[in-house]
Chains A and B, each alone.
Chain A
Amino acid sequence: MNQLAPRPPVTVDPISVEVIGSALSSIVEEMGEALVRASYSTNIKERRDCSTALFTTTGETLCQAEHIPMHLGSFLAMIPLITKRFPAAEIAPGDVFIGNDAYEGGGTHLPDIVLAEPIFFETEIVAWAINTAHHSDFADRGHAHIYQEGIRIPPIRLYRAGELQKDVQDLILLNCQVPRERLSDLRAQMAANRLGVQRMQALCAKYGRDVVLSAGNALMDYAERKMRAGIVTIPDGTYTFADVYDNPEFDGEVPLSISVTVEGDAMRLHFEAPPQMRAGFNMTYTALLSTVYYAVKTVVDPTILPNAGLARALTVTAPAGTVVNARAPAAVFNRIGPSQRVVDLVHGALAKAVPERVTAASCGTVMMACFSGVQPTSGDPWIYIETIGGGFGARPNKDGLDGVHVHMTNTSNLPVEALEVEYPLTVLRYELAEGSGGAGRYRGGLGLRRVYRAEADCRFEFDTSRIRSQPWGLFGGEKATGSQLDLGADAKPLVLGQGALDRGQIVTIQTPGGGGYGPAAERAREAVARDVADGTISAEAAEALYG
């Protein structure tokens, strides 16, 4: 009975497309709001590390509300994986599929748990409600391969026709370090999808199923047209760029390079990278796609709708089994690290074609600090992960933003007054890192400095990049400073970025700034004077850099 809906043959006028498009956006936004507000873990409730979407029955993104670009297209694989495993006839209303595996489960790393629910209208599936939330669990793990990184879940039913499969849930929760939070966040994810199902059914009842689905197709065509219209404005040619990626897990630098070919209204992006490594910083192909979609969208047209149409003009290739296109069982926990470098590659290459549309390198990392242990009073296990923003690259006509999350992420910080109540940590300083932005006609944004004190013995994990390299400037702009970590004089050394902290130990983290744009000598005098007055650079540094 549950046949997949065939493509309906209705033509819908451009105005109805716009009207139904508004309704679809409003559905996914509403799902996202429900997810954030009902969740328990700080990573979702305050940092909004989650995303909601509607998908077509063939697995194309119909509409998405992403809070961070890493999630743009990050569940691209989920629906095909479900329909491959389960014939349509066996899928019933109220079934909810859960998955997280980067290779078999619709995620890009194990903490992103995806929930998908079919949307039935009358007797058939018309679309899918789907969402992902980053569960901050699986802490203090190894990253030699994915088996060390947490439980791998292929798409399986968490609910069968509305009935919770408690066995499945119990198995998953036993593999989590903070099961109570996981359970509550899963409930919030359920609530979000349920809303999506109801709203989409109401939309089909109002406009007719065929009209809604045809409008969905038209919206994808529309995103494609906008993408192509934007690419046409970039001069034809092949543009190349190379950079390195470094990470605390690896003593060396990983060379990465790109070749971008623009031909009329299409763009081909080819990446070269070394073979995948025994470390957490490999990317799956879907993570590479998300990254490329983000990077190209920022240059071509930031307003393109986040649906499957935007991908049609792009061809993305990278040799299989490499750091940027890993095969199982490569570890992928920190895939967002190299993805930040992939954005730098795309922007670096396109700087040669459209210098007025790109920025100098931003901080180039998602600085992650993860603390875990047991609560001194209750003995309960706790895990706290935070990511710290950095400098935004200087822009063609203005300075880069100071102390923000760049490119693939945009999560909020956790208020100190919430953090210190929940975890045995004290934040001593949280400030802009003076002098960390690259000098230039326009200055790169400043990195951040955050100083913690451990109030109990705990485990600590530190992940970043730009330790050995620095964010580059453009067209004569200077480099920014890189990542810095200070654990104090007699600290035990970290191994592969992991180690232990003693009660009372102070940890100082400084994130990289953004690169400068244009020669420093061309910076306006007033701008230099303002930087000195604000203390964003010292008077001596100003003298040395700007004369």
Chain B
Amino acid sequence: MVWRIGVDSGGTFTDVCMFEDASGEVVVWKVSSTPDDPSRGIAEGVQQGIENIGIAAGDIAYLGHGTTVGTNALIQHKGVKTGLVTTEGFRDLLEIGRQKRPDLYDLQADKPEVLVARSLRLEVPERVRHDGRIETALDETAVREAARALKETGVAAVAVSFLYGFVRPEHEKRVLEILREELPDVFLTAGHEVAPEFREYERMSTAVVNAYLGPVMETYIHRLAGRLKALGLKVAPQLTQSNGGVIGFEQAARLPVRTVLSGPSTGVVAAQAIGQMTGMDRIITFDMGGTSSDVALLHDGQCRLTSEAIVHGYPIKAPMLDIHTVGAGGGSIAHIDSGGLLKVGPQSCGAFPGPVCYDKGSTEPAVTDANVVLQTLNPTHLLAGRMAIRQDLSKAAIGRLAEKLGLDVMATAQGIIAVVTANMARAIRVISVQRGHDPRDYALAAFGGAGPLHAARLARELDMQRILVPRYPGILCAMGLLLTDLRADFATTRLMVMKADILPAIEEAFAGLIRDAGRWLDNEGILPASRRLTRTVDMRYQGQNYELSVPLPDGPVTKATLDALVAGFEAAHKRMYGFIAEGETVQLVTFRVEAAGLVRKARFEPMTDQGADASSARIGAREVWMPEAGGFVSCPVYSREALATGNRIAGPAIVEQMDTTTVILPGMTAHVDAYLNLILEDA
């Protein structure tokens, strides 16, 4: 018996997903999270989980973990006291940023808090030019003075970020050496290490976030590693990064800035794996939780990687899955604004007091209340009967809104759903149409507690024909950890114009990156046969400032490679912007190598067809409000646990399971595929 374990540690629950290689058995274990020290909850969850299945920790072949420790420290400003050493004249760059104010019209809006106080941002004389020439040599005496001044203040981390440090890093390297001598116990990081790419503010911000989170993540990771070792775990645990791949704990502790999207990225990885299993290679993921929802687009089975994003107000240059988050979920509150339109969110009722139907004091209706009134959600009990609710309270709350709108209660409840659906559709347009993809060519993968409830209408809003609801929508993130490879990304910026004589320069740029990648793979203990390297180049027309990523064909770099790059770039430009600028000079900007170490992953075996008849899974019926059918209509209710491969259901129908409810609209049919996914299709 070989067990693999994925642990997703969230704000409320820690999910442990265990998978046995040979039998394909999946066991899920949930414990309460321990936000003061999440490693405790994780260790407890793992221990209880393995006791439950009767194995020893030493039998675990793999343990992967997704965490929100970094994100939370960033949101709550609970990083460490951090210093910054930078080029003379530029210490305020961290605060000025792109000199934009946070909101065009709101005079009260504030910028995100700057992570290094002005008194801890120190300048040293030095200047490297864009062509690598040193104009002003590094003043080492000034560096030593800065180091001692920072030591006085008791900083726990220092970031070093100089102009053009990505072109010629020796000044930054020398500063790191001096700091190491003067501040031996302090977490150190430099711009050229975390983001060797142009745009000085974003690189500085990335280095600062890395320093700010460094000691927090180090402490967390060492604590967790210790607890897992104490349990008897023999394998090296892995942590998910924002790019969806996992890396070893030591590497994660050095580069915490690469794990800020660790949490949501695993859901996307799981969707990628499900896509592969089912043969669907065009998927839009829709992960709807209580207060927010994450969406992402998978083209050719893969989610696009972006090299930069603003996370909780801070620009970060790191490879991240292109995940778009909107502040609306099942707990979002509906209200009427001063102009008389119905709005939903961004305020949320949270877990406490929860929606009105929980009867814990809330009087403002949430999206969940609308679903309770419409009876798409069970009107008497939630969580598979464990929690009694009061529909009459939901009805009264929505009635108050209805009166103001001049509509009846049911139309208002349905209206809340329509407004949420429109918000979600807008989020999906951002990641699809705004990137040149037509959502009608994609299937919608719905998960999270509220995803399957709203997916059918969202799909119709966007004219999407097919919806996939995975077998375990609520724990998909934990499951994603069992389906991912080790991954790390390496990049370097070398501006060059596309012409025949750049072949050696391209080779040289990639040679350095491949060397770095090889060293990392060695450290992670990945055998040569399990290594995969993918090369891409960020390209643009000379004069543009946003690049498009173009994959480099495998094999040696030749004249044909250049042609393939130009062709790939033109195709991407045409798709994004609708035109090709004939005759314009093409520029190569940033060279990237993505290194993957293939590991054994959980494999799900297909189940045999049990026939179309789903009647044995039917557990009852209830009236559900469906404007598509003209009002209340009697819907059969099915138990997800009892549905078997091959079963077919015609809409309207409701499928209930402990962690979610799936709505099948009139005119849709659903069937259970060989991997127990529920596939909804518009007839």
**Which of A157-165, A268-276, A311-319, A408-416 lies at the interface?**
A408-416
Contact check: which of B105, B164, B407, B543 meets A302 at CB < 8 Å?
A: B105
- Known contacts A33-B434, A431-B92, A534-B118: A417-B199 contact under CB 8 Å: yes
Question: In the docked arrangement, what's the CA distance between A411 and B97, Å?
Answer: 12
**Which residues of A lie under 8 Å from residue B584 when comparing CB positions?**
184
B36 close to chain A: CB less than 8 A: no
**Which residues of A lie under 8 Å from residue B91 when comparing CB positions?**
431
A459 close to chain B: CB less than 8 A: no
A191 close to chain B: CB less than 8 A: yes
Query: B25-55 toward A: CB 8 Å interface, digit per residue (1/0)?
Result: 0000000000000000000000000000000
Tell me, rounded to whole Å, the shortest Cβ–Cβ distance linking B172 to chain A.
14
- Known contacts A38-B577, A417-B200: A298-B107 contact under CB 8 Å: yes
Question: In the docked arrangement, what's the CA distance between A392 and B110, Å?
Answer: 11
Contact across chains for B98 and A413 when beta carbons are under 8 A apart: yes
Contact check: which of B89, B100, B419, B543 meets A428 at CB < 8 Å?
A: B89
A147 close to chain B: CB less than 8 A: no
Contact across chains for A302 and B106 when beta carbons are under 8 A apart: yes
Question: In the docked arrangement, what's the CA distance between A180 and B584, Å?
Answer: 10
Contact across chains for A194 and B433 when beta carbons are under 8 A apart: no
Query: B484-518 toward A: CB 8 Å interface, digit per residue (1/0)?
Result: 00000000000100000000000000000000000
- Known contacts A418-B199, A431-B92: A223-B434 contact under CB 8 Å: no
Which chain A residues (282-305) contact chain B, with CB distance < 8 Å?
294, 297-298, 301-304
Contact across chains for A403 and B546 when beta carbons are under 8 A apart: no
Contact across chains for A297 and B105 when beta carbons are under 8 A apart: yes
**Which of A19-27, A133-141, A234-242, A244-252 lies at the interface?**
A19-27
Contact across chains for B339 and A19 when beta carbons are under 8 A apart: no
B22 close to chain A: CB less than 8 A: no
Count of interface residues, chain B, beta-carbon cutoff 8 Å: 68
Tell me, rounded to whole Å, the shortest Cβ–Cβ distance linking A26 to chain B.
5
A222 close to chain B: CB less than 8 A: yes
Query: A208-230 toward B: CB 8 Å interface, digit per residue (1/0)?
Result: 00000000000000110110011
A404 close to chain B: CB less than 8 A: yes
Question: In the docked arrangement, what's the CA distance between A30 and B200, Å?
Answer: 27
Question: In the docked arrangement, what's the CA distance between A33 and B101, Å?
Answer: 19
Contact across chains for A415 and B200 when beta carbons are under 8 A apart: yes
**Which of A10-18, A333-341, A460-468, A482-490 lies at the interface?**
A10-18
Contact across chains for A69 and B105 when beta carbons are under 8 A apart: yes
Question: In the docked arrangement, what's the CA distance between A359 and B109, Å?
Answer: 12
Question: In the docked arrangement, what's the CA distance between A10 and B88, Å?
Answer: 64
**Which of A40-48, A83-91, A491-499 lies at the interface?**
A40-48
Contact across chains for A536 and B92 when beta carbons are under 8 A apart: no
Contact across chains for A359 and B107 when beta carbons are under 8 A apart: yes
Which residue of A has the minimal Cβ distance to B545?
A45
Which chain B residues (510-550) contact chain A, with CB distance < 8 Å?
541, 543-546
Contact across chains for B545 and A42 when beta carbons are under 8 A apart: yes
Contact across chains for B577 and A191 when beta carbons are under 8 A apart: yes
Contact across chains for A535 and B118 when beta carbons are under 8 A apart: yes
Contact across chains for A404 and B338 when beta carbons are under 8 A apart: no
Which chain A residues (383-429) contact chain B, with CB distance < 8 Å?
388-389, 392, 395, 398, 401-406, 410-413, 415-418, 420-421, 427-429
Which chain A residues (119-160) contact chain B, with CB distance < 8 Å?
none
Contact across chains for A46 and B342 when beta carbons are under 8 A apart: no
Question: In the docked arrangement, what's the CA distance between A20 and B102, Å?
Answer: 27
Contact check: which of B107, B421, B429 meets A26 at CB < 8 Å?
A: B429
A204 close to chain B: CB less than 8 A: no
- Known contacts A405-B100, A412-B99, A448-B96: A19-B418 contact under CB 8 Å: yes
Query: B398-428 toward A: CB 8 Å interface, digit per residue (1/0)?
Result: 0000000101000100110011011101100
A195 close to chain B: CB less than 8 A: yes
Contact across chains for A184 and B107 when beta carbons are under 8 A apart: no
Which residue of B has the minimal Cβ distance to A358?
B107
Query: B576-587 toward A: CB 8 Å interface, digit per residue (1/0)?
Result: 111101001000
A188 close to chain B: CB less than 8 A: yes
A320 close to chain B: CB less than 8 A: no
Contact check: which of B106, B118, B201 meets A415 at CB < 8 Å?
A: B201
- Known contacts A45-B544, A191-B577, A222-B340: A15-B415 contact under CB 8 Å: yes
- Known contacts A14-B405, A34-B577: A451-B89 contact under CB 8 Å: yes
**Which residues of A lie under 8 Å from residue B101 when comparing CB positions?**
392, 401, 404-406, 410
Question: In the docked arrangement, what's the CA distance between A536 and B407, Å?
Answer: 56
- Known contacts A19-B422, A432-B96: A188-B433 contact under CB 8 Å: no
Question: In the docked arrangement, what's the CA distance between A156 and B462, Å?
Answer: 37
**Which residues of A lie under 8 Å from residue B130 when comparing CB positions?**
417, 420-421
Residues of chain B touching chain A, judged by Cβ–Cβ distance below 8 Å, are: 88-93, 95-96, 98-108, 110-111, 117-119, 129-130, 163-164, 198-201, 337-343, 405, 407, 411, 414-415, 418-419, 421-423, 425-426, 429-430, 433-434, 463, 495, 541, 543-546, 576-579, 581, 584
Given contacts A13-B411, A403-B96, 8 further A-B contacts (CB under 8 A): A16-B418, A19-B419, A23-B425, A26-B426, A298-B105, A417-B130, A448-B96, A535-B118
A–B Cβ pairs within 8 angstroms, 12 of them = A13-B411, A14-B341, A30-B433, A33-B434, A188-B577, A229-B339, A230-B338, A294-B105, A359-B107, A413-B98, A429-B89, A431-B91
Residues of chain A touching chain B, judged by Cβ–Cβ distance below 8 Å, are: 13-19, 21-23, 25-26, 29-30, 33-34, 36-42, 45-46, 66, 68-69, 180-181, 184, 187-188, 190-191, 194-195, 199, 206, 222-223, 225-226, 229-230, 294, 297-298, 301-304, 357-359, 388-389, 392, 395, 398, 401-406, 410-413, 415-418, 420-421, 427-432, 448, 451, 533-536
